[in-house]
Structure 1
Amino acid sequence: MLKKISLLLFVVLTITMTSCNEDFLETKPTDAIAAADALSTPANMALVLNGLHRLMYAQTSIIPGGSSSRAGMQYWIPMFDVLSGDLIHSAPANGWMTAELQWNTHTLETSTTVEQLWYQRYHFIASCNAIINKVEDEGLTKDADMNNILGQAHAYRAWAYHSLVSTYAKGYLIGNPITDAGVPLLYETEAPYTSAPRSTVQVIYDQVNADLAQSIEYFKNASSREDKSQLNLNAAYGIKARVALSEGNWAAAADAAVKARAGYELINEAAWKSGFNTTDLSEVIWGGRVIPSETTFFRSYFYYISPTFQGSQNRGNPKLISSEVYNLIPNSDYRADLFLSLAPNTNGSASNGKGGSYLTDPNYDDEASFDAAKAAIISEWGVTSRHNTHPFMHVKFRNKNPGTIDPDDVIYMRASEMYLIEAEAEAMMEDIAGAQNALKPLGEERDNAYDVTIYNTKELLMGHIKFQRRLELYGEGFSWHDHIRWDEGIDLTNSGASLELYQDGFIQAKPSINNDWIWKIPQAEINANPNLTQADQN
């Protein structure tokens, strides 16, 4: 792997540890635990796992070779929706993610983006390897607490490998997984952490599925987790549902999705409109509990996505939903309220050239109505007078304390996603009734006039499921890999995005004929890894 990984495995996590409960805050950083001692007790193994929970949303600068410009899932979640044009930027603002939306980073082997995602995921794998191998090699007792540790380690390793293989290799359903090059397997638990050569996509999926099966068995006899930052049986099933969906194992995807959401009630209208800023929401299965001492400030999820966060990224660049998606939302669906189609375009630097005043905004004929519309948004949604507004802007993600830079939680997995996975899997198996039954609870909760019976063919169901995913999961990081699974390209012509801003990201051919959907392997990895050569570059 990258030489940087050899500097550290456990010392990698130079962070203030928390047991995911503020009442049990530890002030001793993980780097105070010598590498030789980090696995000496189950308690220390739990600390290592807590470091991984933190690494999910922390700036990667906490590990040697990391970057302060990327803060784990707080960056990757919005970025994957930006890349595919589902989370639309309205202006360049301060430049964050502009290179991503123009397809100038994942296609460049020396970019910070391709290196940091690769590097972070392999740190997860290396840490999980060390835990798993320690327990197996020394025959340690597997009581309920140890089962919890092992369940999490196997689930994290599966999640990391799946993230890598679905991003740095050709999509399972559009390629030939038996022969397509995947990513390297990493077995080592000590320096220099040299990986194997690139395995095939199928070999990596086999490893992922083996880890998930083992994780689920451990979790069945594990102690309970303390917080949703930690993985549990439901989260393991949720990861399995995602993996099975991506490989077209429809029956397994549907089964795992049902098990993943068990006990997690769909949120109601009030909760859906509350800002998506806490893991306390009833349907959150897995998410990062961020406490004030662990804030990433201007590298946080809400900095990139929230129209109420007090940062230049959103003050000058409110994020939009595609007008094509918005126009499909029925008036009876309360989610429409969170996307402001008639928000005044107050930004003179808006990329569509229609911002600055009522004189340029075609939705307004006079200054009074233009100003009144902005005032109403400030009053209802917590957008401040310093924030610009723009037609089709979202107010789905709002920090708890609008107009501040206070930290908020990051959601990784919700029950809604699991209903949609089940529905898609049933539709692909042409079980019309099964897909309708999966969609019905979600649809009826969101739309008081919802009638699932009108989607009575596989084609109608899949079209509706795609719409539901783009609406329900907007801004939650799924769009990029959805496009790959569905083999759909990008055409933002009628979305409201600006060709001038998006450039190469405005139109892209579908993944099966366009290898630019496959991320470049970091050049630093090829240079450092004796088992990779330039011929391995995507």
Structure 2
Amino acid sequence: MLSYIKHSFLLFVALIAFSCEEEFLDTTPTDAIASADALATEANMALVINGMHRTMYAQSQTVLPGGSAVATTARANEHYWVPMGDNLAGGLIHSANANNLGWRDEAQWNSHTLQTSNTVNVLWYHRYNIIANANSLINRINEGVLPVTPGLKEIEGQAYAYRAYAYLSLVQHYAKGYLIGNPSTDPGVPILFSSDSPFASGPRETVQAVYDQINSDLDAAIAAFGEASDRPSGSAFDKANLNIDVAWGLKARTALATGDWATAATAAVNARQDYPIMGEDDWKAGFNSTLLPEVIWGSNVITTETTFFRSYFYLASNTFNGSQVRNNPKIADRRLIDAVPDTDYRKDMFLIDAPNTNLSAANGMGGFANNTNPLYTTEEEFNAARAELEATWGWTSRHNAHPYMHVKLRQQVPGGIEPDDIIYMRASEMYLIEAEAKAMMGDIDGAQEALRPLGEERDSAYDVTAFDTQESFMEHIKFQRGIELWGEGFLFQDKIRWDDPIDHAADGGSGASQVLYQEGYFQDRPSVNPSWVFKIPQRELDTNPNLGPDDQNP
């Protein structure tokens, strides 16, 4: 199985070469470092962990070496996978027909539904690469040969947490949602324990079995971190390391996905306790640094290994200097933004009245000749508004504007091509998880109190007591997750958990063009629509002796 990760340790060599101790490089050729050498000492294993951190945002040809067909430059892993959740679910909306890396194809549902696409291939093999590398560390530690130190326990905790993260991603994309299916019988994904080529595994396990493995790994991670050295702090890179808070956060996400509401609430509180809710200045700073106080986990993107036009900010930001951005401002669902009170400062990051300057806009309303906004009675006013936005937000004269475009996600140097950090987990998500879990348990008072700190920080007129039934509170949770986590990749899994459709036409419309969005304009509820489940890569079915044509998702 998984022949495309058979050279996984060569990946470590390529990455470790930047940071290994000089004597290690002097005594062992960089093209001949065996797995035994990489796992020989605690220090070497720490370098392997650092390599895994980098694979989170590296382009896939460095993660999946050996000339395989899935090793494409078109996916820089979390740069792509994080915003894909909002792109697929219709939260991050394309305003024009501009494409790059298949980004428009995702929105049109023409990628994850195709078993030969880059998306289904690279996501599958990247996650199993993480698993195989984590297995190598876990299996080595379990041999009981290395001295047990706080540093080794930190490595062990990270390996278990990484493995859980990868399995959670796999089962949430390549299998039916836990709460809308039959997890005890629904096919999940293969479980892999091997750390040596050819990485043989069994057939697809059930969804329940995969979640059981995830929870087992997270429990092991939490236990190991309890005996580990503390994660360093003070630099953006430090939060690339997984720690006990990350493990609790993954536990909260897992429990929320499976309806284990009590565990979700408890784990969310444990995860966020050392991360204060951001204030207005930080929330409006661009979401481009793991140094933000709320960030529990994220990748600090090393500038010498930058991805430029493969980055999160190229795909999702409106200030990145690339053609896909300049010609296709990303807008938010106007139904969501119109529902945000003026007293909520998050609304400021969505430019409702931006002039539509794009003559190629999908809605056919680009240019002053098509202007319907009464704020701009003359072409001079129209052009002046666009120039003012350019000066305020730092994009270039070649960038287009569009009503409801966002400026939430911005590089530290707007108008440039630097990719900046990728945020994976924040404290605000944990407040939202606790609140949702308590509401689902019927504890509305507890849900209100869980959400109150976040709501009152964001909205000066916030009154959580207005949502005093389970139904009204859950609708409010959907709203709060929609605005707070917009662009951070959660909407696809949220809709699966809530069994909500994608309907850009409902309730006055989202602002998306049906001509542009095609199949992505409407998708029925996940419980009745198999298209929400990613196809398994055809090459996996062709090469894995434990899988066959009948294992393909419908």
Letter in structure 1 aligned against 2:371: D
Change (3 A) 1:14 1:508: farther
Write the letter of the residue equivalent to 1:333: D
SS at match of 2:184: coil
State the 1:92 CA deviation. 1.8
Contact kept, 8 Å, 1:13 with 1:55, in 2: the verdict is no
Deviation, 1:207, is 0.4
Rounded to whole Å, the distance in 2 between the matches of 1:274 and 1:155 is 29
2:266 paired residue among 250, 255, 258: 255
Superimposed CA distance per residue, residues 395-453 of structure 1 (whole angstroms, 9 cap, x where no aligned partner): 00111111111230110000000000000000000101111111111001100010111
- Alpha-carbon separation, structure 2, partners of 1:93 and 1:167: 26
Q: Distance in 1 between matches of 2:525 and 2:18?
A: 44
Per-residue deviation, residues 359-398 of structure 1 (Å, max 9, x unmatched) = 1121133201111211121122112211111000000011
The TM-score normalised by the length of structure 1 is 0.96
Match for residue 327 of structure 2 among 316, 339, 356:
316
Aligned counterpart for 2:80 among listed residues 71, 75, 81? 75
Query: How far has the Cα of 1:79 moved from its partner?
Result: 1.2
Distance change >3 Å, CA 396–CA 29, structure 1 → 2:
farther
| In 2, Cα distance between equivalents of 1:29 and 1:211 | 34
SS in structure 1 opposite 2:189?
Answer: strand
Q: Using the alignment, how far apart are the partners of 1:30 and 1:306 within structure 2?
A: 37
* Alpha-carbon contact 1:30-1:48 (below 8 Å) kept: no
Q: 2:257 matched to which residue of 1?
A: 246
Structure 2: which amino acid aligns with 1:361?
N
Aligned equivalents of 2:120, 2:460: Cα separation in 1: 43
Partner in structure 2 of residue 38 of structure 1:
38
Q: Distance in 2 between matches of 1:401 and 1:438?
A: 36
Write out aligned runs for 1:489-528 (5 A): 489-493=501-505, 494-528=509-543
How many Å separate the matches in 2 of 1:276 and 1:488? Answer: 27
Which string of whole-angstrom CA distances, capped at 9 and with x for unpartnered residues, describes residues 104-158 of structure 1? Answer: 1111101110000000000000000111011112443321001100000000000
Q: Deviations over 1:329-384 (max 9, x none)?
A: 000000000000111111111111111x2111211332011112111211221122
Partner of 2:228: 222
**Distance (Å, rounded) in 2 between the aligned partners of 1:187 and 1:108:** 28
Task: Say if 1:307 and 1:314, in contact at 8 Å, map to a contact too.
Answer: yes
Matches within 5 A, 1:522-537: 522-537=537-552
* Within-5 A mapping of 1:1-20: 1-6=1-6, 8-13=7-12, 15-17=14-16
Separation in structure 2 between the aligned mates of residue 507 and residue 213 of structure 1, nearest angstrom? 39
Change (3 A) 1:463 1:30: farther
Choose the corresponding residue for 2:405, options 379, 390, 393.
393
Q: Give the unaligned 5+ runs of structure 1.
A: none
TM-aligned CA deviation for residue 19 of structure 1: 9.5
- Give the deviation of 1:247 after TM superposition: 0.1
Change (3 A) 1:31 1:84: farther
1:108-257 map, 5 Å: 108-226=114-232, 227-257=238-268
Secondary structure at the aligned position of 1:286 is classed as strand
How far apart, CA to CA, are the structure 2 residues paired with 1:72 and 1:30?
24
Q: 1:369 to 1:18 in 2, by over 3 A?
A: farther
Name the amino acid aligned to 1:463.
E
Q: Write out aligned runs for 1:20-31 (5 A).
A: none
For 1:43 and 1:29, how far apart are their aligned partners in 2?
18
C-alpha distance 20-315 of structure 1, shift in aligned 2 (>3 A):
farther
User: Are 1:424 and 1:465, in contact at CA under 8 Å, matched by a contact in 2?
Assistant: yes
Q: Say whether residues 1:86 and 2:85 are aligned partners.
A: no
Change in 2 beyond 3 A, CA 1:391/1:14? farther
Alignment correspondent of 1:290: 301
The separation in 2 between residues aligned to 1:15 and 1:72, in whole angstroms, is: 17
Is 1:459 the counterpart of 2:467? The answer is no
**Corresponding residue number in structure 2 for 1:58:** 58
**Do the aligned partners of 1:20 and 1:229 also contact (CA within 8 Å) in 2?**
no
CA change 1:502–1:233 in 2 (3 A) is same
After superposition, the Cα gap between the structure-2 partners of 1:275 and 1:31, relative to the gap in structure 1 and judged at 3 Å, is farther
Task: Quote the residue 1:362 is aligned against.
Answer: 372
| RMSD of equivalent CA atoms | 1.7
CA contact (8 A) 1:423 1:439 kept: yes
TM-score (normalised: structure 2): 0.94
Q: Which residue of 1 aligns with 2:110?
A: 104
The answer to whether residue 353 in structure 2 is matched with residue 347 in structure 1 is no
Cα shift readout 1:190-240 (whole Å, capped 9, x = no counterpart): 111122100000000000000000000010111122300010010000000
Structure 1 residues 309 and 89 mapped into 2: Cα distance closer, same or farther (>3 Å)?
same
**Matched position secondary structure for 1:287:** strand
Distance 1:490 1:500, change over 3 A: same
Deviation at 1:29, TM superposition (A): 10
Identity %: 56
Q: What SS is found at the alignment partner of 1:211? A: helix
The one-letter code sitting in structure 2 at the alignment partner of 1:82 is N
More helix by share: 2
1:2 CA displacement:
2.6
SS in 1 for 2:155: helix
Seen in structure 2, the aligned counterparts of structure 1 residues 201 and 303 have a Cα distance that, compared at 3 Å, is: same
Deviation at 1:30, TM superposition (A): 7.3
Q: Which residue identity lines up with residue 464 of structure 2 in the other structure?
A: V
CA contact (8 A) 1:15 1:29 kept: no
8 Å Cα contact 1:57-1:74 kept in structure 2: yes
The amino acid across from 2:5 in the alignment is: I
CA 1:47–1:536 in 2, change beyond 3 Å: closer, same or farther?
Answer: same
Whether the 8 Å CA contact 1:13–1:51 is kept in 2: the answer is: yes
**Contact 1:2-1:524 within 8 A present in 2 as well:** no
Residues 293 and 410 (structure 1), Cα distance of their counterparts in 2 relative to 1, 3 Å cut: same
Unpaired runs of at least 5, structure 2: 233-237
Question: Which 4+ runs in 1 deviate beyond 6 A?
Answer: 18-21, 26-30
Check 1:411–1:17 CA distance in 2 against 1; reply closer, same or farther (3 A cut): farther
Residues 451 and 20 (structure 1), Cα distance of their counterparts in 2 relative to 1, 3 Å cut: farther
Of 435, 442, 447, the residue aligned with 1:423 is: 435
SS in 1 for 2:188: strand
Offset at residue 14 of structure 1 (A): 5.4
Query: Deviation at 1:35?
Result: 2.4
Once residues 393 and 280 of structure 2 are traced to their aligned partners in structure 1, the CA distance between those partners, rounded to angstroms, is: 15
Contact 2:83–2:312 (CA under 8 A) maintained in structure 1 = yes
Q: Which amino acid aligns with 1:368?
A: E
Write the distance in 1 (CA, Å) between the matches of 2:292 and 2:369: 42
Aligned partner of residue 198 in structure 1, secondary structure:
coil
